[in-house]
Structure formats: C-alpha cells, structure tokens
Structure 1
Amino acid sequence: MATVTSDNRGLRLAARYLSLVLVSLIFLFPLVFMVVSSLKPDHQLLADTSSIRAFLPVGDISLDNYVNAFERAPIGRFMLNSVFVTVVTVTASIALCSLAAFSFVFLEWTGRNVLLSVIVATLIIPFETIAVPLLLFVSKLPWIGLEGLEIGWLNTYRVQIIPWMVDALTVFLFVQFFKDLPRELIEAARVEGASWMLIYRKIVMPLSGPVIATAAILKSLVMYNNQYLWPLIVVQDEAHRPVMVGLGYFFQLQIAWGEVMAYLTLISVPVIAFYLVLQRAFISSIASTGVKG
C-alpha cells in the first residue's frame, strides 16, 4: 500500500513538473523566435515563419543583422539613455513613494484618507489626457544647471525622469504592505524614543524587501519598455532618446525585419538581467523577512 501511494505521488510530481515545463516553453517561444530570427536574412526569416524552422537556428545564420542595426541607429546610446533614466527614476520612486506611504499608514494627520483616495483615483486617468498640459508646463519650467539659469526642460534627461518619480500605483503598493507590518514594532520603537525617520530607515524599510522588488520590477518595465509617447513628444535630440523611440529608426523607408529582431534582442538584455537580479533579491527578501522574538 505504501509503495502504491509513493508511486502515485511520484506520478503526480512528474506530471506537475511536466506541466510547468510546457507552460514555461510557451512563454519562451517568443524569445526564441526573436533571437533566432535576428540571425537570419529577411528572405529566410519570412520563409521560415510557416514552419518549425522559425524556432531553429538553421539555414544562413550570421551576425549581419546586428552589424547593420548598429550602423542604422546609435543603439548603444539609446540603451545607455534608457538604463540611466530607468535606474534613476526607479530609485527615486521607491524612496519618495515609500515615504509617502509611511506617512499615510503610520502618521496621524487630517485628510490623509481623502488624499490617499485622490491619489489612487488618478490611476483611472489616461496619460493622453494630460500629455499636452504637461508638455506646456515642462516647456516653461526654469532649471539651474551648470551653465546657469535655463528655461524649459525639453531634450533633457530630467524631463524623462522627474514627472515619473512618484506614481499612484507604487504609493498604493507600499501602503498596502505597510499596513500588514506588526504595529508592535513601531510602538516599541516609539517608546524607546526613536524618531519617525529612524523607524522608517531602520525598521520599516529593511522589512519591505518584497514590496521594493515588486515596485522596482513594475516601474522598470514601464520606464524601459513602455515609455514611447512622452519621450517622443519632449525629446527630439538623438543624444537623449530612449530605446523605444529608437525603434522607429528601423521602420523608416525599407523595413529590415532581421535588423528589427536584432534590435529587440539587444534591448531585451538589460530587461532580462534586471528582472533576474530583482527576482533573486525578491526571493531572498521573502526568506529573510520576519520578526525575531
């Protein structure tokens, strides 16, 4: 009887792992297709799309598409711009949004629930409705730089960073996480004379690894992958353009699909690396988060 039960468990475990492998392959197929297609000339790429050869590195394989892609557009500059804007924005967003959430959850002040409701309600406002007013606003803003006072933020990094440093979703994520933290820790720290800022730095944030990783992943995906309309409006200088705007270089005149796939493969590398690093940090933070008696 014990042997039969053990065999059933083994079969169920094997079936579970097999289903997980199949699901993972479904998600990997687009990535495999992208990488393999980037190695093929256009005529072979289009011919192979009707068969399994589209996912196999067979035929006339070379790195010519990558060479041509670098010749068509300044890919390295675009990637550097996007990585810089993403890292600065995500770092500032986590710091500012967590401070805002800390005040909403732990501090007592009049109107905090109303203000939080207003902030969360802004999630339903599409960006297209505020794009033009925001453009007019940033085009008139002053800025004190190395060369003195400047008027207007267009064609700069700051116009791509500062408007997105605080967002409703990140504030909401931190608020919901902070509400689940044990209040006894905060009360004990206050009894010992700790300031609110000390509590934020030494108690709350060290316990907030999971929400920090989650917010960083969501924010980085938005800033790196989905930032197209706003940079297209405010950045005309090639030296400050991000990767999504740079994708337009490959759809001008004659479209070279192999070069498009090569470009997508290159710009996907930082996203995958960033996700893997944060995923490991996310798992480690969950394993280490807890309250010791």
Structure 2
Amino acid sequence: MAAVAGDNHRLRLVVRYMVLTLIAIIFIFPLVFMVMSSLKPDQQLLSDTGSLRAFLPVGDLSFDNYRDAFARAPVGLFVFNSMLVTGVTVVLSLLICSLAAFSFVFLNWTGKGVVLSIILATLIVPFETIAIPLLLIASQLPWIGAEGLTFGWLNTYRIQIVPFIADGLTIYLFVQYFKDLPAELIEASRVEGATWLQIYRRVVMPLSGPVLATAAILKFLVMYNQYLWPLIVVQQESYRPVMVGLQYFFQLNIAWGEVMAYLSLITLPVLAFYLVLQRAFIASIASTGVKG
C-alpha cells in the first residue's frame, strides 16, 4: 500500500510539473518571439510569423536592429527617465502609503474610517477623468529651484512622480496586511515605552516584506508603463519615458525589427526588477514569522 501511495504521489507531481511547464511555455512565447524577431530583418520577420520559425533563431540573424533603434531614438535616455521616475515613485509610495496605513490600523483618531472609505472610493475613478483638471493645476503650481521661484511643473520629472506617490490600492494592501499582524507585538512594544515611530520602523516594517514586495511590483508596473500622463505633460525629449518613446518607431516608415529591438530593451528592466523582488519576496516569507 505504501508503494502504491508513493507511486500515486510521484505521478501527481509529474502531472503538476508538466502542467506548470506548459503554462510557463505559453507565457514565455511572446518574449521569445520578441527577442527572435529583434534579430531578423523586416522581410524575414514578416515571412516567419506564419510558422514556428518566428520562435526559432534561424535565418539572417544580427544586432543591426538594435543599432538602428539607438540611431533612431535616444533609447538609453528614455530608459533612464523611466527608471528614475519609477524608482523614486516606488520608494516614496511605499513610505507614504505604509505610514498612512499604519495610522489607519494602529492609531485612534476621529474619522479615520470615513477617510479610509474616501481613499478606497478613489479606486473606481478612472485616471482619464481627472487628467485634464490635474494638468491645469500642475501648470500653475509654484516651485523653488536653482532658478528661483517658478510656476508650472510641465516638462519636469516631478510632474511624473508627485501625482502617483499615494494611491488607494497601495494603502489598501498595507492596511489589510497590518491588520493581520499580531496585536500582542504592538502592545508589548508600547509597554516597553516605544514610540509609534519606533514601532513602525522596528516592529511593523521588518515584518512587512511580502506586502512591500507586492506593492513595489504593482507600482513599478503602473509607473513604468505610463503613457497617457507623460504624453500630456512632457513635450521635451529629455524627460520622455520609454512608452512615449515608442512613437518614434511608428513615424514615417515602420521598421518592425527596430520596434522589436526597442521592446526587448525596455522589457529588460522590468524582468530584472521582477526577479529581484521575487527573490526578496520569497526570502521575506521564509524569514518572517512570529513564534507563539
């Protein structure tokens, strides 16, 4: 009986891994197609799309499309702009939203339920409905910099960062996670004389690795894929992100090989960020725990 049970267990594992492998292959096919197409000239790329050759490194392969992509548009500048805007926004968002969630969960103040409800209600409001009013406000906002007092935030990094620092989804994720933390930890810290800021920094946040990784990944994807807002508020090439830069490859004659090369280049930071955060997520789950 034990041998039969062991065989059934192994069979279930084999079937499970086969299914997971098939799903992984399905999801990785677009990436393989993108990379393979970026190495082929346009005529071969289009002729291969009707067969499995589109996913195989066959034919006239070269890095000419990558060279031509850099010649057509400042790809490095666009990637830098997106990484800068995305990185700063993610860091500030995790800080501000976690502090807000901490106040909603652990502090007692009048009206916090109403305020949280209003914040969550913003999740049903499409950004397109507030884009124009936000544009009108941003075009008149003051700023003190190296040039002194100026008005208007258009064509800057801050106009792409500040409106997206705090959002209802990130606050909601932190609120739900903080609610599941053991109340005994907070009570013990208060008895020992810790301030709320110390509890936030030394007790709550070290236990919040999973939600930090989840919120960071979601925020990264939203910010890195921004198109409408930068298209509205940024006219100078020096501040444009990668998604706005994609329009350079659809002007005049479309070179599909260059488009695939550009997409491959701008996808690399996303994959790298995800892999790093995935490892941090797994490590935080393995190391986080409270012994009763």
Same fold (TM over 0.5): yes
Cα offset, 1:51, TM superposition: 0.4
1:214 partner amino acid: T
Q: Which residue of 2 aligns with 1:255?
A: 254
User: C-alpha displacement at 1:5, in angstroms?
Assistant: 2.5
TM-superposed CA distance for 1:83, in Å, is 0.3
Q: Take 1:269 and 1:162, find their aligned partners in 2: how far apart are those partners?
A: 25
- 3-state SS in 2 of match to 1:137: helix
Alpha-carbon distance between aligned partners in 2 of 1:114 and 1:7, rounded to the nearest angstrom: 57
Identify the range of structure 1 (48-57 vs 4-13) with the bigger mean alpha-carbon deviation: 4-13
- For structure 2, list consecutive stretches of 5 or more residues without a partner in the other structure: none
Name the CA distance, whole Å, in 2 between partners of 1:219 and 1:275.
Answer: 12
Distance 2:158 2:245 in 1: 19
Name the count of aligned residue pairs.
292
Q: Report what 1:61 is aligned to.
A: 61
1:110-129 aligned within 5 A: 110-129=110-129
Gap regions ≥5 residues in structure 1: none
Deviations 1:148-197 (A, max 9, x none): 11110000000000111101100000000000000111111111111100
Aligned ranges 1:155-194 → 2 under 5 Å: 155-194=155-194
Query: Hey, what does 2:52 align to over in structure 1?
Result: 52
Match of 1:270 in 2: 269
Aligned to 1:245: 244
Partner-residue secondary structure (3-state), 1:150: strand
Q: Hey, what's the Cα distance between the residues in 2 that align with 1:117 and 1:188?
A: 30
Q: Is the partner of 2:143 in helix, strand or coil? A: strand
Query: How far does the alpha carbon of each residue in 1:35-64 deviate from its partner, in whole angstroms, 9 at most, with x for none?
Result: 000001111111111100010010011111
Q: Quote how far apart the aligned CAs of 1:3 are.
A: 2.5
Instruction: Report the CA distance between 1:6 and its aligned residue.
Output: 2.1
**Equivalents in 2 of 1:59, 1:255: separation in Å?**
21
Q: Which residue of 2 aligns with 1:33?
A: 33
Identity of paired residues, percent? 73
| 1:1-293 equivalent positions in 2, closer than 5 A | 1-225=1-225, 227-292=226-291
Distance 1:191 1:122 in 2: 37
How far the C-alpha of 1:8 sits from its partner, in A, is 2.0
**How far apart, CA to CA, are the structure 2 residues paired with 1:92 and 1:213?**
14
Equivalent residue of 2:116, what SS? helix
> C-alpha displacement at 1:2, in angstroms?
2.8
Q: For residues 3 and 191 of structure 1, what CA distance do their matches in structure 2 show?
A: 56
Cα distance in 2 for residues equivalent to 1:205 and 1:154: 35
Distance 2:121 2:199 in 1: 29
Separation in 2 of the partners of 1:28 and 1:285? 26
TM-score, normalization by structure 2: 0.99
Determine the C-alpha separation between the residues in 1 that align with 2:173 and 2:113: 15
Backbone CA RMSD of aligned residues: 0.8
**Amino acid corresponding to residue 264 of structure 1 in structure 2:** L
Letter in structure 2 aligned against 1:249: Y
User: Which whole-Å deviations, capped at 9, do the CAs of 1:94-113 have from their partners, x for residues lacking one?
Assistant: 00000000000000011100
Distance in 2 of aligned mates of 1:34 and 1:140: 42
Could you tell me how far apart the structure 2 residues matched to 1:106 and 1:3 are? Answer: 53
Query: Which amino acid is the alignment partner of residue 75 of structure 1?
Result: V
d(CA) in 2 for partners of 1:96 and 1:134? 20
Q: Distance in 1 between matches of 2:149 and 2:219?
A: 31
Report the secondary structure of 1:130's partner residue.
helix
